[in-house]
Structure 1
Amino acid sequence: MEKKKNILLDNYLVKNLRAYPVLKKKFMHYIEGTKELPEGFTKRKLFHDYLKVRRNNPEKRVSQSEYMIFGFYGLSPEEQKRYLTDIEATRLMRPYNNESEKYLKDKLSFLKNFTQFVSRGWLYVPEASYEEFDAFVHKYHVVALKPQYSSWGIGFIRLTEEEFDAKEDKEEFYQKMIKGRYLAEEFVESHESLAVFHPSSLNTLRVITFRNEDRFEVFGCGLRVGNNGLHVDNAHGGGIFCEIDPKTGIINTDGIDECANTYIAHPMTGMQFRGVQIPFWEEICALCKEASQALPCLRVVGWDVAILSDGRLELIEGNHSPGMNIVQAPAKHGVHDKFESMLLDYYGDPEQYI
């Protein structure tokens, strides 16, 4: 006899009730990092408003960070729709950027296909002998170790030759790097103009570009700097970000972090963000334009650019599905309609790419 379908199990409300404890735990853990709650809100009230926002915008899949950094707690449903969440941005870009994913998501593939924009030394550990890995560490003295497919700074290790030599079993560490499919890269340092914000990290510029044959445009850009003495600059690693005027290269907002804490100046160095001119701005935009022409499949890309200590420009990586938080949260202006319109203007109906 066929089992009767349990309608309750498939009911949307029930599914949300089951998710409630998980969402609450995640939200309460996240909100611990927020130093000052919005006026008139408790943590409990924020959480219930967050649930309301998710119900009203199911297609946006608003994360707790997006809810806070975009200030959704103070916006009407119509105003909330002006913002572009990571989920929405990925869905919009996917048809156009499918081909470029294999060249950008894989860090090894990126380094091999963009050699003219990369001057730092690098080594793919699974293809290197122990002797080659040991020599690489001692050649550069400090190396950055990154999993081949990682993002958000997950798995990042900064390793000095002294730390490597002090390990009880160096061979075992090398084998772990092979198992984790790690890349070893020369640890490069920021130009003094960016190092002043946070000297411990390589502080980079995120430049989001559109290209279709000879058409090219910088959609938006921002500066990302580390915090708390950590060696990564991305927001997921505790970093601070602010927006840059793409026409002038001048920082035009204060800083903000993933927990919606805002900063007029960097909390560790006192260096103010707003009004700072990023050096070599024309050259940075020209570099991104040239890089966007390296492969025919490159359409929308989020380039991470470093200005090295000697003034050279270096591509750190390209992102096939760049998040839009850096061009929305610091100035609290949504780019949903602008981004969607530009996709259609540059590339036409997404169906043709599927």
Structure 2
Amino acid sequence: MKLYASEDETYQIRTGREIVAAYPEIYNQWIIQDIKKKLEVRAKIRPDIAGGRSIEDMFAIATYDYWQYGIGTTEEFFNELLGASDKKKREYLTYRGRFLYIDYLNKKEDMHLLRNKWHAYQLLKDAYRREVLLLESEQDFPAFAAFCQRHPSFVVKPIGLGQSLGVRKVEVGDSDTHELFNQLFAEIETENGHWNSGTEKGVLVEELIEQGEEMAVLHPASVNSVRIITVNFGDGDIRIWYPFVRIGVGGNFICSGATGSIEAGIDAGTGVVNTSGIDKFRVAPIDTHPDTRIPIKGIRIPRWRQLCQKAIKMAECVPTLRYVGWDFAYDKEGEWIVIEGNENAELSGSQIINREGKREEFEHFTGYHPTKEYWWQGKYPSRFENIKSEA
């Protein structure tokens, strides 16, 4: 098959189907059904974007867009890229396209420092200000049992997955501790299997964060957070790219753009929210929080200067990872603490919040212009030998 830019949907559909057929190891049945389910859900919410296309055709187009532009499944809807022009698609920093920049900015050999959540905790422990325990085998059960005594409620996280996959709150209650221990491993093994991730099989359990009132009032059930992307230019020059706040909804514990939380832009100079909120499912502006009725625009992030200084300090701790997306929470003692650092953070937040592609601006910001046409060029050459690009 040949891959090239085209606005002909007949070609896009044909090529997308050929790619799926050529890579059964990538497009297993679970992955295919997961993508189709996401498309179906979003098509019901945004029928104007779906445009009457069948799920099968949307799946094929999304597959083509993924390989041609790096567009992720959900980006087709929240950035309104399904059926968009080639010009518009190239204006966006896409789900996979961002790696053209990350691979330049970050040292590959050091990516594990943040990708592996346990390595990150060991490196930045003082900034976490909470207990975190790594579980890898049966030998860790005694430590887990003691942890449960200290923390009858806690958070579980797979060590090597992102986008809140597998993250949940656990209430020990009357559960048999050993059964709970085994259940956690079984759940993580399932998640890893679904997402073709088998390299890091451990699981972290974390002490719950008790957030300060100023942030808790926005949505008490979730730990509301601030995402700050830092870019380290060297010699002490560390800059911040479009910070934004995440606020949970609907009584859900998880606060993440991937799970439908509200995101809104923050003025980097003042710490005041200066946009309406959005969620990645509906995209329509949200002026007032649906649960707490708090106006989104005008929210003041507490101790903003301290937070920016903390983000810069964290960036200094990982100088070879020049691009990092930091998630911070505000604890009950009025300190900003690290939830986690993401060495390959998505750039979708700034684009969906501001309703425009930021590729050109980001290239000007970083001073880097990729020379590769496709995100997959140079990665695992034999894996992609079935795709012949026109580049």
Query: How far, CA to CA, are the matches of 1:126 and 1:53 in structure 2?
Result: 37
Query: How far, CA to CA, are the matches of 1:315 and 1:335 in structure 2?
Result: 26
How many residues get paired? 337
- Are residue 144 (structure 1) and residue 155 (structure 2) matched? yes
Pick from 355, 358, 367 the counterpart of residue 332 of structure 1. 355
CA contact (8 A) 2:264 2:273 kept: yes
The residue number in structure 2 matching 1:16 is 16
- Kindly state the Cα deviation for residue 174 of structure 1 after the two structures are TM-superposed: 1.6
For 1:1-354, list aligned pairs within 5 A: 10=1, 14-18=14-18, 26-27=35-36, 29-33=38-42, 36-37=45-46, 42-44=51-53, 59-72=68-81, 76-97=85-106, 98-126=108-136, 129-162=140-173, 166-167=174-175, 169-177=176-184, 180=188, 181-211=202-232, 212-262=234-284, 263-344=286-367
Query: How far, CA to CA, are the matches of 1:65 and 1:230 in structure 2?
Result: 21
- What secondary structure is seen at the aligned counterpart in 2 of 1:326? helix
Q: TM-score, normalised by structure 1?
A: 0.83
The gaps in structure 1 that reach 5 residues or longer are 1-9
- What secondary structure is seen at the aligned counterpart in 1 of 2:242? strand
Return closer, same or farther for 1:17/1:256 CA change in 2, 3 Å cut-off.
Answer: same
- Kindly state the Cα deviation for residue 298 of structure 1 after the two structures are TM-superposed: 2.4
Query: How far, CA to CA, are the matches of 1:134 and 1:146 in structure 2?
Result: 17
- Kindly state the Cα deviation for residue 321 of structure 1 after the two structures are TM-superposed: 0.8
The gaps in structure 2 that reach 5 residues or longer are 4-10, 22-26, 189-201, 373-378, 380-391
CA contact (8 A) 2:134 2:203 kept: yes
Query: How far, CA to CA, are the matches of 1:205 and 1:94 in structure 2?
Result: 25
Query: How far, CA to CA, are the matches of 1:309 and 1:70 in structure 2?
Result: 36
CA contact (8 A) 1:31 1:43 kept: no
Higher mean alpha-carbon deviation, 301-310 vs 223-232, is at 223-232
Give, as a single letter, the amino acid of the residue that structure 1 aligns with 2:220. P
Query: How far, CA to CA, are the matches of 1:30 and 1:53 in structure 2?
Result: 9
Query: How far, CA to CA, are the matches of 2:88 and 2:274 in structure 1?
Result: 22
The percentage of aligned residue pairs carrying the same residue is 23
Query: How far, CA to CA, are the matches of 2:60 and 2:179 in structure 1?
Result: 46
Query: How far, CA to CA, are the matches of 1:310 and 1:121 in structure 2?
Result: 16
Query: How far, CA to CA, are the matches of 1:56 and 1:135 in structure 2?
Result: 49
Return closer, same or farther for 1:254/1:332 CA change in 2, 3 Å cut-off.
Answer: same
The residue number in structure 1 matching 2:383 is none
Return closer, same or farther for 1:332/1:47 CA change in 2, 3 Å cut-off.
Answer: farther
- What secondary structure is seen at the aligned counterpart in 2 of 1:120? coil
Give, as a single letter, the amino acid of the residue that structure 2 aligns with 1:110. A
CA contact (8 A) 1:265 1:271 kept: yes
CA RMSD, 1 decimal: 3.3
- What secondary structure is seen at the aligned counterpart in 1 of 2:339? strand
Deviations 1:195-226 (A, max 9, x none): 22221111111100111231111012111122
Deviations 1:162-183 (A, max 9, x none): 2xxx22x421322344574211
Query: How far, CA to CA, are the matches of 1:38 and 1:178 in structure 2?
Result: 39
Deviations 1:126-159 (A, max 9, x none): 3764332122122133211111112111111312
- Kindly state the Cα deviation for residue 77 of structure 1 after the two structures are TM-superposed: 3.5
Query: How far, CA to CA, are the matches of 1:172 and 1:40 in structure 2?
Result: 46
Deviations 1:14-42 (A, max 9, x none): 54245689979845643434675365964
Query: How far, CA to CA, are the matches of 1:49 and 1:175 in structure 2?
Result: 39
Query: How far, CA to CA, are the matches of 2:94 and 2:102 in structure 1?
Result: 12
Return closer, same or farther for 1:125/1:78 CA change in 2, 3 Å cut-off.
Answer: same
Q: TM-score, normalised by structure 2?
A: 0.75
Query: How far, CA to CA, are the matches of 2:220 and 2:320 in structure 1?
Result: 36
